[in-house]
Every structure is written in structure tokens, then in C-alpha cells.
Amino acid sequence: MSLKVPKSNNLQLFKDGYKQMSGIEDAVLRNIQAVGELSDLVRTSFGPNGRNKLLINHLGRLFVTSDAATIIREIEVVHPAAKLLVMASQAQESEMGDSTNMVLILAGELLKKSENLLIMGLHPSEIIKGYELACIKALAELENLSTSSLPNPFTHESLSTALKPAIASKQYGYEDTLASLVAEAALAVMPTNPKNFNIDNVRVVKIMGGSLSGSKVVQGMVFGRESEGMVKKVLKCKVAVFTSALDIAQTETKGTVLIKTAEEMLNFTTGEEKHLEKIFQEISDSGVRVIIAGSSVGDLALHYLNRFNIAVLKVLSKFELRRLCRVVNATPLARMGAPSPEEAGFIDVYETIEVGGDRVTVLRQLQEGEEGYDGDAAKTRTATIVLRGATSNHLDDLERAIDDGVNVIKSLLKDPRLVPGAGATEIELARRIETYGGGLKGLAQHAVKRYATALEVIPRTLAENALGGAEGNEVLSRLWAKHESKGGEAWGVDVEAETDGTLLTTEHKILDSLAAKQWALRLATEAAVSVLSVDSIIMSKPAGGPKIPQQANNWDED
């Protein structure tokens, strides 16, 4: 008979203040619960009828948006398992710029389905194995579901059609106008080799007032401010870009000058003026007719710039300054002085125009076919979408939809294949994985089947957000029936429910990027598997000393 050795639970392995949770109940199921809360939070914002969230971030800035990428960026998620999901959706955002919400919803649903299997007694490794098999099968089947691809050469109409579903999921009702604007801007900057398309060359400038119908695409860079000086229009000229302030040089340390007579006072100020005049004379002699200032412009400097007939524009954003340097092909200078021929840039047109009552400055290079074009195709092309709207929140949301649209174009240029949208692809994948799971042996088949049912969450959420919960389940069963019939792969959710809540996506041209779906499936599965493979959470004590006691609200009252 063996003696039982008493087990001590108080072994001092970590410092005081550490937290440790382990085991299925404490670690895995708690993580699943946290991830489920995060995915439920963004689930109601999915699809064209998704609800907006009103967020106030730690700086007190207000956001009204249904864009999942913005929502998770502005809410500070602290739970370590939920952070894994946030990282997966951020990877999707940086890679594709779209389908971030799909990653969060699908990963959350996969974990909710795995919870039942864990409670039944399956080991997490069996579930992980099943999910990985199902993901490989889903990616293989996705390749076969491509119904069409973006035609090359691209036309305004084909690009608009491909963009509409992505933009409609953010701005339902405005998708025609926005898709047309994005397609026009993208075609204006499209290089000879479309794979070199740079999303940075499509800019957005928001001007308050008016309505979306007043928005337009302007060739070139637009800045929402007027020229500082008197010169408002210059053609074919050299450009100098300065990151420093255009003003009298200030000493770093405090200097004291003792002036005894009025003559000394005049000599002191005249010396400064002559020094500044000499600098601007040199700049003018080098042939520069436009100056871009990255900081302030002094009154005296402005006087000399006007005298030498040089236009000056303030651009305070370093990102805009960097982009502008690329357009005019200039080197930003940190000192005042005449630029060398290599440092100076060149612009075809610099002018101040009026857009909806606001004065804006446009810098642009002439394009092929325009009068005065000199045949230099290497010039960087830029297009700016000038957005009009009633409130700043609405304009911000429109800008997010446009960013998604431009990113979709970039992903379609890499991989032009399209698959049926509106949840049709997910239902078809669910059906095929269900069949595949039925033919497997061992415990992994349960996880494969759960993966198939988890994929239903996409069409179900689309239907629930548009038509309500009970109607959503009915639409899902109708979709299953249509997908079971021969050739029914393209049936998806009709968010307007004009007939029975289902529609043929190929007829209505609701098509999604195949590459975005591939990444979303892969990242959602990886995030779910990462959370399932965790069996212990160890959290160290937060850094910093004790909290400073807060004063009572009414401490100064008698």
C-alpha cells in the first residue's frame, strides 16, 4: 500500500501579484467567453444593414461607424485571448483592407462551436486538428467557386461593379456614387503595369457643407487651404519644399542685445531684413516659383516672397509633405536657402480654385492628352477625391468606405478572381465541408462538421441584421435548399427581401474578392486555433507603484 504524499499549493514560483489560470474551465472556456463577447460586439455591424456604434475614445474623440477595423482600434481590448483576435483582424486590414469583420465573427463562432465539443469531453488537440483539416478543405473548395474575374484592361464600369459590394457594406445607399468616384480616381493614377498601383496616390480631402452628390475627383493633390501669399496661379515651374519655418532664424539660447541709440536699433533690424532678402533672392534666382512650407511662414518672409512673385503654401502634415515630395519629385530641405537642381522639384500646374464656396489649392502634373503635356510618363500621378457632406462624422465614415474601396482595387489587381457574395460562398463551403466531414474517421470529424456550421454565421448575420432574427433562420433554410439543388452555388441573402429573402448573386453582380475571403478564412482559423491551444494564462503584476489617493469631489467646500 503506497502512502499519499501531501501536495502543497503554496509553492512560491512567481512574485507576489502574479495571476495564473489553467485548465479547461479556468483558461480555455474563459478565453472562449471573452472572444465571444468581442465577436458579438461587432457582429451587429456586419453587412449593408449593420448598425453603427457610437464610440468615444480615451482622448474624448467621437466616432460613429460600423467599420470593424475602426471599432476595435478605438476600444482598448485588454483580455489577452481577445487581443489575439484583434491582431488577426489587424493583419487582415493591413493585407486586404477589407473583411476585417468577417475574421472577428468567424473566429468567434468557431470558438463558440468548439465550447460544446470541449464540454462533451473532446481534447482541444482533436478540435484543432479538425479545424485545420476543414480550413485546408475550405481553401481548396474556394478556388473552385470563382465565377468570374475582373476584366483586363480595366474600365470604369467593371471597376465600379467590383467595388460596390465592399462599399455597400459600409455605406449602403451611397455605393453607386462612391464606387464611381473611387473607380475614376483609380483609373486616373493607374500605372502602365497595374500591379504597381499605389493606394497612396488616391487621396481624400473632406470639405464640410453640401451633400455627397457634390463630391468630385480632381486630378492632382488638393489642399484644403489657400496660398499664403498674393500669387495664386503658376504654370510649369520649379518647386522647393522646406520642412523648417520660413522666418527670421531664432537662436536656441536666450540672447540679450544692448541697444543705445536709434541708429543701432535700425542697423539691427536692417541686418535681419537684408539677410532674409538675400536668402529669398537666391531662391528666386535658382528659378523656384513655388515654395511648400512644412511649418509657419513669417510676415517678413511673406513680404519678400510676394515681392519676388513666389507662391507659398503651408502643408503642416508630414505625411502630406512626404506624398507631395513624391508628386513633384523634390527633396525636403531642413534649412532655408536655394535648393540645388537635384533637390528642386517640378510642377505643371499650381492654382487656387473654389470648391463649394471653399478656396482650395491644387498641384498637378499634366496628363497625356492635355494641352501643354511634355510627354514625360514617369511623372507621379495623383488623384484627389473631394468629399462633401453635412457633418464631420459622416465625412469620416465616407472616407473609411473609400479607403476600403481603394484597398479592394489593390487586392483585385493582385488576384482578379471574384466569388459570389451575399453569403453564397460561405453557405456553399459549409455544405461541401459538411459532406467532407461525414466521410472522415475519428474524433476530428466532429470538429470538421462544427467548422461547417460555424461558416453559416456569415449569411445568418447578414439576414438577421437586415430582416430580424426569426426571418433570418427562415432565409438560411431556404438558402440551404437552393444550394442542395444542382447549380445553386450562387444563391445569397437578399437584404432588401423583395421576394423570399434570397437572390442570385451573379444576376445582381454581388461579387467579393476571392483573395480577401482566403485571407479571412485562414486568419480566423489561425486565431481560433491559437486560443484553443492555450491551457494556461499567466499574468504578471502590472508595473508601477501604488495608486495616488484621489481627492474627494467636494474637498474644497466648507
Are both 442 and 369 inside the same structural domain?
A: no
Are both 373 and 459 inside the same structural domain?
A: no
Q: For the domain that residue 317 is a member of, what is the CATH number?
A: 3.50.7.10
11 in any annotated domain: no
pLDDT digits 0-9 by tens, 496-513:
766 666 676 667 777 788
Are both 241 and 126 inside the same structural domain?
A: no
pLDDT greater at residue 291 or residue 98:
291
- pTM of the predicted structure, to 2 decimals: 0.77
Tell me what the pLDDT averaged over the chain comes to: 76
Q: For the domain that residue 48 is a member of, what is the CATH number?
A: 1.10.560.10
371 in any annotated domain: yes
Domain count, the chain: 2
Lookup result for grid cell 493583419:
91
* Boundary residue ending a domain (325, 350, 379): 379
Cell of 156: 470604369
User: Residues 532-554: what's their mean pLDDT?
Assistant: 67
pLDDT band at 218 (very low <50, low <70, confident <90, very high): confident
DSSP for 281-327, please give it. Answer: HHHHHTTEEEEEESS-B-HHHHHHHHHTT-EEEE---HHHHHHHHHH
CA dist 294 and 336 (Å) reads 12
- Spatial CB neighbours of 207, under 8 Å, sequence gap ≥ 6: 224, 355, 356, 358, 360, 386, 387, 388
Are both 371 and 429 inside the same structural domain?
A: no
484 in any annotated domain: yes
Are both 232 and 335 inside the same structural domain?
A: yes
Q: Is the dihedral of CA 206, 209, 215, 221 positive or negative?
A: negative
Helix crossing, 29-43 with 80-95: angle to 10°? Answer: 40
69 in any annotated domain: yes
Are both 53 and 128 inside the same structural domain?
A: yes
pLDDT digits 0-9 by tens, 5-32:
555 454 566 666 566 666 666 677 777 8
- Domain housing 92: 18-148+420-540
DSSP state of 512: E
pLDDT digits 0-9 by tens, 399-418:
888 888 888 888 887 777 88
Are both 40 and 105 inside the same structural domain?
A: yes
Are both 360 and 475 inside the same structural domain?
A: no
pLDDT digits 0-9 by tens, 439-480:
777 777 788 888 888 888 888 888 777 776 667 677 777 777
CA dist 85 and 39 (Å) reads 9
Asked if the model's pLDDT at residue 59 lies above 70, the reply is yes
556 in any annotated domain: no
- Give the pLDDT of residue 412: 81
- Spatial CB neighbours of 443, under 8 Å, sequence gap ≥ 6: 122, 126, 130
Phi, psi at 514, each rounded to 5°: -65, -40
Query: Three-class SS of residue 537?
Result: strand
363 in any annotated domain: yes
Cell of 109: 463562432
CB of 35 closer than 8 Å to CB of 87: no
Residues linked to residue 399 through DSSP beta bridges, in sequence order? none
Are both 367 and 440 inside the same structural domain?
A: no
- Spatial CB neighbours of 283, under 8 Å, sequence gap ≥ 6: 240, 291, 308, 310, 337, 338, 339
pLDDT digits 0-9 by tens, 341-376:
777 788 888 888 777 677 778 887 776 656 656 655
CA dist 44 and 37 (Å) reads 12
Are both 297 and 428 inside the same structural domain?
A: no
Alpha helices in 390-468 (DSSP H): 392-414, 424-438, 444-455, 457-467
171 in any annotated domain: no
Are both 361 and 424 inside the same structural domain?
A: no
Q: Is the dihedral of CA 296, 298, 302, 305 positive or negative?
A: negative
Angle, vertex CA 425, rays to CA 422 and CA 426, nearest 5: 90
Written as one letter, the residue type at 278 is: K
- Give the pLDDT of residue 8: 46
Are both 321 and 434 inside the same structural domain?
A: no
456 in any annotated domain: yes
